[in-house]
Structure 1
Amino acid sequence: MSLKFDPDDSLVNSSWATVLLSERDVAGQVPINFVTTSAISVRAACFGDNKFERSAAGNCLSNLLAVGFRRFNVDVYWSPALRRWLLCPVSIPHNVDVMTASPDATPISSADVSEATVIAVPDESSDGLLYELGPYKCSDELDLSDLLDVFHSYFEHTNTDLVIYLRYLSLNLHVTADPTSPSEPASAVTDGELPAASDRVSYLMEDRLGSYIYGPPQLHEDRRNLNDSWYLVDDAYKPISQYFTIEQGSDGVQSTPNGWPNPKYVQLAAEKRLLVEYGSVDPQLGGYNLSDENRVIFPSGYLTSTIPVTAADDGSLDSGCLYHPNETDTPSVNASWAVSSPIPLPKKLSDDQSLQYISDLLVNLTACGITPTINDTLFGETADIDQESYRNLTLSSSWSWAAGQPNDPSVSSDAENLRCATMDVSRKGHWRTANCSETRRAACRVQDQPFRWTLSAKALTYADAYQNACPDPETAFSVPRTGLENTYLYRTLLSQHMDLIDPSSSDPLQREVWMDFNSLDVDTCWVTGGPEATCPYSSDPDQLQRRTVLVAAVAGIVICVVAALTLFVKCNANRRNSRRGRRVIQGWEYEGVPS
């Protein structure tokens, strides 16, 4: 039986679904290579205890998907003997002595078996066996196909506009060690032992997930003629052209040598959900021609630009941040596919301190335009056992709303009037809701550039700000669309408008600015475009009970993700301990971002 997307049960809270949805939508036109995500090592998160049990692996992957991780670094191992790509580093025994023991039986003494004998016990989670291979315990049924089945099931279960998010796979290719010497390096694979056409990674990817994959041929074709691809769709689905180079031929056809599509185009127009690249490839696979696999898999490093970063013990960045106050031209801010280099945890920290450190580090990396990667088994427990720690940290990769925001009208009566968004400099540049009839100065984007901002001269209501706050033809009322854009606006306010902006002031007029983001049409649906903008998820608002329908739809579909985020904030607010005695740390401050 194939594995399915089957995460652990969680509670429902629609307010955090609103956070995820609004952040996804506001970044919807930014090319995908500039949108930060959250990344995880599957080897560390699911198999850090060296147990490769099939059912546990399926549950672990399901939990990681459910709590919101977007990028997955996956280690797969080619077994020449079995002709399969395994997730275990050691080949399952083939043509060797196997002694099967009952889980309740007396342990088998090493004196009773030969050096070439492998001990196995029934895998209680499946119909197969669990082999003891040196330091590893490996199911005889767990392989790459199982991982792909979980992803396929996940895509089937999340197929509405409200909950579609892109996912990324980075595949590291290895060779399995021999089961009789599991701790020894793997042998080189001969030409005859290489995968056949139907065993190649690309074949498996295309066979199981092909309809969901945005691959190299489609990127090449889209880049070659923008008129018939990215620019053929409605304006709301087009990419922001300031992020890449555009060339125009004598025939009027526009093309790009380096551009990438935006999430709205990939997810909603092209109806794709996944991008795949190669990571590292072991030298033992030297004869494995990766160029034969470019239909669905991008070459090594195509979706990853590793940024060397160093961090202090408090999680602030000493180096590597992509925010530079004097560099606001998009080509100068080289944030394309930026992913952090691994950063080891400081030694001699308690679990509480480690969680605080990782959370702060992820916050700062995201604010600096870098996708943070978790390469550790958190507190020695995998995500099928303790998904709580993993889901807490995915929230730290969120960059927009402050804790407890936006206010939920179904919870607070005051929230009904708080339908417009401000940047609050007293909250380190995070957002909060405010009454649209109040007056604030407004954030104005300069020359449509992602990283150039200024502030309106006057304080106006939100509606007036949309019409009149940015009268200069080179400026426009706008909203940050990524964590790095948000940092540039926040730092611009602090460095250039200190006469108007005071983070320590108790007066909102002095510490908040309007952004072009509101929920005036549907109170849980945040949109840009001024006070007349409509929610794209209600086709006929007058006929629907808009608030009830939208909240119910969001809450019902993203149960696991939302519950993780809700618990995260609640635990921070109350300083409660988790079930394992660890506090859940939020870390929503831009500490360590250079000014």
Structure 2
Amino acid sequence: MPLSYNPSHPGAYNSVWGPVFLSSRDITGQVPINKVEYPGVNVQAVCSPDNVFEHDRYRRCLSDLLGAQARWFIFDIYWDYTNRQFGLCPVQLPSQDPNTTSTTTTAATRPRDDAIDGSEADANADGLLQLGPYQCSDSLTFDAVLDLFHNYFSATSSKVLARVVQFKLNLHAAALPSQPEDPAPTPTEDQMPTSSELVGHLLNSDEMQPFVYPFSELLSDRSNLNVSWYAPDDPYAMQSTRYFNTSLTSITNMTTTGNSTNIDVLSTQDGWPSELHLLFSKYYRLLVTWGTVDDQMAAYDFASDSSTVFPRDYMSTEHTFQADATTGALSSGCFYDDTTTNSSAASATAYLDFTAASVLGWAPGEPQNSSSVPRAQLHGHASQFRCAVIDSSPAYAGHWRVANCQQRFVAACRVDTEPFRWRLTQHAVTFHDAPAACQSAVAAAASSSDTDTDTVFVFDQPHTGLENTYLHHYILSQSAAAAWINLNSLSSEGCWVTTGPNGTCKYTNDLDIVNDRRILIPTIGALIILILVVLTALAKCNSNYRHNRKTKTGPGGWEYEGVPS
């Protein structure tokens, strides 16, 4: 039985969180995906804290995690050689061969309440098998999980709702039903997955293959950036090479006349595409990598999956840190280093707070709109309350807030497209004057520091949490309170763009559809309730009429209805 995507509270449709998630994706989506902190979960720990692996629970749990904008999913998948399938239950399911007997029992136990939304599974859930300490649905397979994600990709295909999702698969052998708490046996050669049962084969199905960014394509894209991530005719081409190393490589090019010429192209050994490029240039939604692998599964045919599934640890790097047990303050391992301003961004893939990772930059309650702010705080016409500043005051501590575009602040200027180098304009300006102020700041910086006249200052905004930290500390070092960042919603309320004061929203039509859906769904629900109330009232009136009417017998034996007394 397939799983389907049906979140209880999809955050992307919410009028408050929708703009937050969309602006966060559009800002972080401009840099390589390996430089961005994405919120993620260990699915088994979140959805099965009590060892209950129930079909409907996982439908609700995964749907709500996706609706909450979780982006990294760590799955523990178990090879069940008895049924020739990958499942989420740690124990092999009893054989469905009618000639095979089984000693398992059906469970009717209410799951614990701390499983995310899936905890509401019916206490009489059908199909739960008691396998030692585990309760498992026979339909909860990895194939069913892929059905849910395929449904999610299809339901969120608009430019407003589309997100890239990443899987990390921990590969296990399932334990025997007769020994559910013992280590799983090592499958024999005949019991290992065949070519049509491999994970890569599941990902290359007709439904999933169009959404999966394969490892082989990453290698191909790296070999010639001129036609991949930096293609000149691509509106979502990446703009900066400062996040990874590049070099010129000579390749042989065949002309239309059959002659060959050598040309130099830009290539990289360690680069990654941006999320926006994956979403809107290549239309990919999913990357999959291997995590841990049980010794029992060491003979798995990884080579056949190598063109699709990324190698183990290829998409993540562990980062060790120490924190005070009482205050939570980091004592070592912090990514920020104030002596580093011109090197490539560090790989920030350590586990981060789920919510903080989802709402890059914005302070709690932001971005506000003109209708949610007291008129006395607007500082002018409400339509101009659509520009963003990074506020380094104690109340905001480097988070972003909305300000009136006609107010005057210094502007944040990125230096030579470096991730961590920033300068501020000499004078406070309006948002509309910020780009020109950054350009004119080069000469002033050259006369007072080591900056030369060839340096380029560009009005910009931080793309990652780490970049935001560097900018925040630089603002503090300059004794400034707040600075303009290149982020505004002047062209369309709720659509935050990073293309300057004259930038336009690319998602106006999609936003209208989302807003219409947000309005129509509760309206239709209210109309249905009203119709039911009217029908109930009419039915009751009809029942009362039938109950209260009186029949009288007249002369000749005929009957007539009388008026109730």
> TM-score range with shorter-chain normalisation?
0.7 to 0.9
1:373-403 deviation per Cα after TM superposition (whole angstroms, max 9, x unaligned) = 7xxxxxxxxxxxxxxxxxxx43554221111
Letter aligned with residue 191 of structure 1:
E
Bigger Rg, structure 1 or 2: 2
Q: How far apart are 1:553 and its partner, in Å?
A: 5.7
**Cα distance between partner residues in 1 of 2:199 and 2:23:** 35
**Aligned residue number for residue 531 of structure 2:** none
Conserved in 2, the CA contact under 8 Å of 1:469 and 1:477?
yes
Q: How far apart are 1:323 and its partner, in Å?
A: 1.1
Specify the SS of the correspondent of 1:276. Answer: strand
Conserved in 1, the CA contact under 8 Å of 2:107 and 2:135?
no
Q: How has the CA–CA distance of structure 1 residues 287 and 556 changed in structure 2, closer, same or farther, with 3 Å as cutoff?
A: farther
Report whether the alignment pairs 1:162 with 2:160: yes
Conserved in 2, the CA contact under 8 Å of 1:31 and 1:239?
no
Conserved in 2, the CA contact under 8 Å of 1:83 and 1:195?
yes
Conserved in 2, the CA contact under 8 Å of 1:446 and 1:474?
yes
**Cα distance between partner residues in 2 of 1:167 and 1:483:** 19
Conserved in 1, the CA contact under 8 Å of 2:366 and 2:401?
yes
**Aligned residue number for residue 444 of structure 1:** 413
Report whether the alignment pairs 1:2 with 2:2: yes
Letter aligned with residue 142 of structure 1:
L
**Cα distance between partner residues in 2 of 1:428 and 1:181:** 55
2:501 corresponds, among 524, 531, 534, to: 531
Conserved in 2, the CA contact under 8 Å of 1:158 and 1:557?
no
**Cα distance between partner residues in 1 of 2:166 and 2:520:** 21
**Aligned residue number for residue 405 of structure 1:** 366
Specify the SS of the correspondent of 2:4. Answer: coil
1:177 corresponds, among 171, 175, 178, to: 175
RMSD value, Cα = 2.5
**Aligned residue number for residue 291 of structure 1:** 303
Letter aligned with residue 46 of structure 2:
A
Report whether the alignment pairs 1:225 with 2:219: no
Q: How far apart are 1:315 and its partner, in Å?
A: 2.8
Report whether the alignment pairs 1:431 with 2:414: no
Give the TM-score, by structure 2 length.
0.78
**Cα distance between partner residues in 2 of 1:249 and 1:6:** 48
Q: How has the CA–CA distance of structure 1 residues 33 and 455 changed in structure 2, closer, same or farther, with 3 Å as cutoff?
A: same
Q: How far apart are 1:76 and its partner, in Å?
A: 0.4
1:530-549 deviation per Cα after TM superposition (whole angstroms, max 9, x unaligned) = 2111111237xxxxxx9x83
Q: How has the CA–CA distance of structure 1 residues 462 and 53 changed in structure 2, closer, same or farther, with 3 Å as cutoff?
A: same
Specify the SS of the correspondent of 1:238. Answer: coil
Q: How does 1:388-537 map to 2 (within 5 A)?
A: 393-394=354-355, 397-412=358-373, 414=378, 415-426=382-393, 427-471=396-440, 472=442, 473-494=455-476, 496-498=477-479, 501=480, 511-537=481-507
Q: How far apart are 1:102 and its partner, in Å?
A: 8.4
Q: How has the CA–CA distance of structure 1 residues 75 and 101 changed in structure 2, closer, same or farther, with 3 Å as cutoff?
A: closer
1:559-580 deviation per Cα after TM superposition (whole angstroms, max 9, x unaligned) = 9xxxxxxxxxxxxxxxxxxxxx
2:334 corresponds, among 321, 333, 338, to: 321
**Aligned residue number for residue 247 of structure 1:** 247
Conserved in 1, the CA contact under 8 Å of 2:104 and 2:131?
no
Q: How has the CA–CA distance of structure 1 residues 10 and 273 changed in structure 2, closer, same or farther, with 3 Å as cutoff?
A: closer
Q: How far apart are 1:319 and its partner, in Å?
A: 2.1
Q: How has the CA–CA distance of structure 1 residues 558 and 66 changed in structure 2, closer, same or farther, with 3 Å as cutoff?
A: farther
Conserved in 1, the CA contact under 8 Å of 2:108 and 2:123?
no
Q: How far apart are 1:474 and its partner, in Å?
A: 2.5
Specify the SS of the correspondent of 1:515. Answer: strand
Conserved in 2, the CA contact under 8 Å of 1:409 and 1:416?
yes
2:512 corresponds, among 538, 541, 549, to: 549
Conserved in 2, the CA contact under 8 Å of 1:409 and 1:523?
no
Q: How has the CA–CA distance of structure 1 residues 276 and 10 changed in structure 2, closer, same or farther, with 3 Å as cutoff?
A: closer
**Cα distance between partner residues in 2 of 1:15 and 1:225:** 41
Report whether the alignment pairs 1:98 with 2:103: yes
Q: How far apart are 1:15 and its partner, in Å?
A: 2.8
**Aligned residue number for residue 302 of structure 1:** 314
**Cα distance between partner residues in 2 of 1:217 and 1:170:** 17
**Cα distance between partner residues in 2 of 1:555 and 1:395:** 25
Specify the SS of the correspondent of 1:20. Answer: helix
**Cα distance between partner residues in 1 of 2:421 and 2:59:** 45
Q: How far apart are 1:222 and its partner, in Å?
A: 0.9
1:132 corresponds, among 122, 130, 133, to: 130
2:140 corresponds, among 139, 142, 155, to: 142
Q: How far apart are 1:410 and its partner, in Å?
A: 4.4
**Aligned residue number for residue 118 of structure 1:** none
Q: How has the CA–CA distance of structure 1 residues 99 and 550 changed in structure 2, closer, same or farther, with 3 Å as cutoff?
A: closer
Conserved in 2, the CA contact under 8 Å of 1:163 and 1:554?
no
Q: How has the CA–CA distance of structure 1 residues 476 and 82 changed in structure 2, closer, same or farther, with 3 Å as cutoff?
A: same
Letter aligned with residue 296 of structure 2:
Q
1:491-544 deviation per Cα after TM superposition (whole angstroms, max 9, x unaligned) = 1112x312xx2xxxxxxxxx11111111111122111232111111237xxxxx
Unaligned runs of 5+ in 2: 110-121, 251-262, 443-454, 523-565
Q: How has the CA–CA distance of structure 1 residues 192 and 123 changed in structure 2, closer, same or farther, with 3 Å as cutoff?
A: farther
Conserved in 2, the CA contact under 8 Å of 1:239 and 1:262?
no
Letter aligned with residue 552 of structure 1:
N
Q: How far apart are 1:96 and its partner, in Å?
A: 4.4
